[in-house]
Structure 1
Amino acid sequence: MPQIEQMQKANMEKAIEKKRRPTKSRKRNHRQGETAGTHLTASVPRAYSNETAAAVQTRLREHRFDHAELICITDPEDRLLGCVVLEDLIALPAETPMGDVLKALPMVRVDEDQEKLASLALHHRLTAVPVVDHGGHFLGVVPPLALMHILRHEHVEDLHRLAGIKRETHQAREAMESAPLRRARDRLPWLMLGLAGSALATQVVAQFEAQLQDRIAIAFFIPGLVYIADAIGTQTEAIAVRGLSLSHANLRSLLGGEMRTGLLIGLTLAAVTLPIIWLIFGDFYLALAVAVALFSAGCVATTIGLFLPWLLGELGTDPAYGSGPLATILQDVMSLLIYFAAVNLFLF
């Protein structure tokens, strides 16, 4: 019996050492703290299949464990064979071999994502989940308190994703909870940039003063064109800020899809607008200029609305602060340039 205990003690020390020295595949996930290995405890009761219930019961009384609800049965190479629940162990006859009563429970690898771990526990109604390495060697269990922590974390993370927050980070909480002076300090630089952009947009319009004086009807469509471009861009920004945290597709794929969406939106708006303006103003070329501008502005707005949140996120800046003001002014200036270029092309 002392020899068995010495072997189990050595195996436990080996398991703890394996946990401390994660493999390369674990290291990538371990930085995020979202793997099974992050939450496991190695201080749990263990037994071999040929040990009797009486021997295991004695060891349970003589040692203190972090979690004792599952008695994990291993072979001499420390590979997990199954488990026995504590309440079943207490009711066993003294001479019953543990191998006769062990039950195979679902187990997870040490580098498994914690979300899958929590789903497994819920599906199989487990209060603790055994953890093994890639060779099937037993390392420990994820106890109930850790499972509750994982479930809470994943629940909050999903709620934040719905709100467009990638992770429950200090930056995201600070944006919502910091003092008004701090929030104003974070937001004002972007709004000042937008103010400078507004001056640029005014300058763009001023450059076409002669065309506006020659045909005043050109000015009628500027507010509507700018609004539509902003509305398309705002839609895309809201979808992008939320979607970039959920999608695993690369930027090229997302950008290509959004550009095609912009083409369809712009084409539809242009097709609706052209006959209406032509009918009301009796000027086909004016209607064509507005339709072309709407079509082009739709493509540009969707591209800017997706690319800017991604770029700001990559630069470590909260997209919620900068994407709106910066995207709006870029869309406004680009829409005006496109519109006046179309006007010059078709009317002058």
Structure 2
Amino acid sequence: MKHHEPVAGHLVAAVLRARADETALAVLARLRAEKPVSVELVLVEGEGGLLEGAVPIARLIAAGDAPLAELVQRDFPRVTPDIDQEHAASLALHHAVDALPVVDKDGRALGVMPSQALMQVLRREHVEDLHVLAGIHREESQARHAIQDPPMRRVRHRLPWLLAGLGGAALATVAMAGFESTLSAHIAVAFFVPGIVYLADAIGTQSEAVAVRGLSLTRTGIRHLLAGELRTGMAIGATLGLIAFLPIWVAFGQVRLAAAVAIAIFAAGAMAAALGLLLPWLLARLGGDPAMGSGPLATVIQDILSLLVYLGVVRAVGL
């Protein structure tokens, strides 16, 4: 699990502060004289140092002699020092801003989280997420050096998730053994197991990749998100199933086999898309990192479920 670090560690207090009645030219003159550490934003303060809004430096430069009251963005996103740094970076991305004002619990301006800090956070978090997606569970400070580690240390960090995969493979074997009579009577049924499992994994991986980062950027309810992802998975599954139906029928001369494969692809696609969203969401709700729901863990579950769906459909159509 990640160590969540607060914004306070990236706070820059040496920023340009101004009043709403000052002009852009006057503020630019002070900027040249004061030489603050961070210049991305001008913090517009009211009585008692309360933050009224912010003016991006590019807007200030282009404003001529206009008063800041006409330039200030009063709804500019802001954070408190105790907010997690990844949430702050996601907020900046969501609002397409280069820096974030930092305020105390009463709304008084403390400084900014500058663009350099936001970029560092995003890079660190994405390196960590890539390792988790690959099933490499390790501390963020070490993750960037993973490729340089001795082989046995790499094994120690990668093996736990793959052991879960081995357990999933055993369960899949047990599931297939339960359909031994069907597989013995219709050997062609087994030909399509790898393809259906692969397609379910691929659809699920797409959903996971979207969910891992998207869940931190949206405030949309999970029901709406799940409904949309389920419709997407169904549409993809239906398209792939229809494409596969005719060639299988022509090649094997068995309409029921072709129908079973098409239905299984449709069902597995919908299921994998939903699971790819639900697993990261559930982990986020439990206080974990959504990225932990991706990679080997989700693959194991998708493989078993897609296999059960396919073999269940095969039996249902009378093969």
TM (norm. structure 1) is 0.59
For 1:335 and 1:272, locate their aligned partners in 2 and report how far apart those are by CA, in whole Å.
18
For 1:132 and 1:203, locate their aligned partners in 2 and report how far apart those are by CA, in whole Å.
58
Query: 1:188-337 maps to which residues of 2 (within 5 A)?
Result: 188-320=159-291, 323-337=294-308
Contact 1:201-1:336 at 8 Å conserved across structures: yes
Deviation per CA, 1:86-129, whole angstroms, max 9, x where unpaired? Answer: xxxxxxxxxxxxxxx9964766879951659995999xxxxxx9
- Secondary structure, aligned partner of 1:347: coil
Shift in Å, 1:187: 3.3
Contact 2:283-2:292 at 8 Å conserved across structures: no
What is residue 61 of structure 1 aligned with on the other side?
none
Specify the structure having the higher radius of gyration (Cα): 1
Query: 1:140-151 maps to which residues of 2 (within 5 A)?
Result: 142=111, 150-151=114-115
Q: Does 1:33 align with 2:7?
A: yes
For 2:177 and 2:129, locate their aligned partners in 1 and report how far apart those are by CA, in whole Å.
40
Gaps in structure 1 of 5+ consecutive residues: 1-30, 50-64, 81-100, 123-128
Question: Of the two structures, which has the highest relative contact order with CA contacts closer than 8 Å and spacing of 6 or more?
Answer: 2
Query: 1:5-44 maps to which residues of 2 (within 5 A)?
Result: 32-33=6-7, 39-40=12-13
Deviation per CA, 1:211-261, whole angstroms, max 9, x where unpaired? Answer: 111111111111111111111112222222232233332322222211110
What is residue 144 of structure 2 aligned with on the other side?
176
TM (norm. structure 2) is 0.63
Shift in Å, 1:150: 0.8
Query: 1:148-159 maps to which residues of 2 (within 5 A)?
Result: 150-159=114-123
Contact 1:232-1:301 at 8 Å conserved across structures: yes
Contact 1:42-1:140 at 8 Å conserved across structures: no
CA separation of 1:290/1:112 partners in 2, compared to 1, >3 Å: closer, same or farther?
A: closer
Query: 1:49-60 maps to which residues of 2 (within 5 A)?
Result: none
Shift in Å, 1:288: 0.7
Query: 1:77-156 maps to which residues of 2 (within 5 A)?
Result: 104=68, 113=78, 115=92, 142=111, 150-156=114-120
CA separation of 1:110/1:198 partners in 2, compared to 1, >3 Å: closer, same or farther?
A: same
Contact 2:237-2:269 at 8 Å conserved across structures: yes
- Secondary structure, aligned partner of 2:317: helix
Gaps in structure 2 of 5+ consecutive residues: 23-33, 37-42, 51-64, 80-91, 131-137
CA separation of 1:213/1:255 partners in 2, compared to 1, >3 Å: closer, same or farther?
A: same
For 1:173 and 1:313, locate their aligned partners in 2 and report how far apart those are by CA, in whole Å.
22
Matched pairs, number = 259
Q: Which amino acid aligns with 1:285?
A: R
What is residue 314 of structure 2 aligned with on the other side?
343
CA separation of 1:318/1:282 partners in 2, compared to 1, >3 Å: closer, same or farther?
A: same
- Secondary structure, aligned partner of 1:342: helix
Deviation per CA, 1:317-345, whole angstroms, max 9, x where unpaired? Answer: 45545521111111111111111111111
Contact 2:49-2:109 at 8 Å conserved across structures: no
Contact 2:280-2:292 at 8 Å conserved across structures: no
Contact 1:118-1:151 at 8 Å conserved across structures: no
Of all paired residues, the percent bearing the same amino acid is 42
Contact 1:118-1:150 at 8 Å conserved across structures: no
- Secondary structure, aligned partner of 1:240: helix
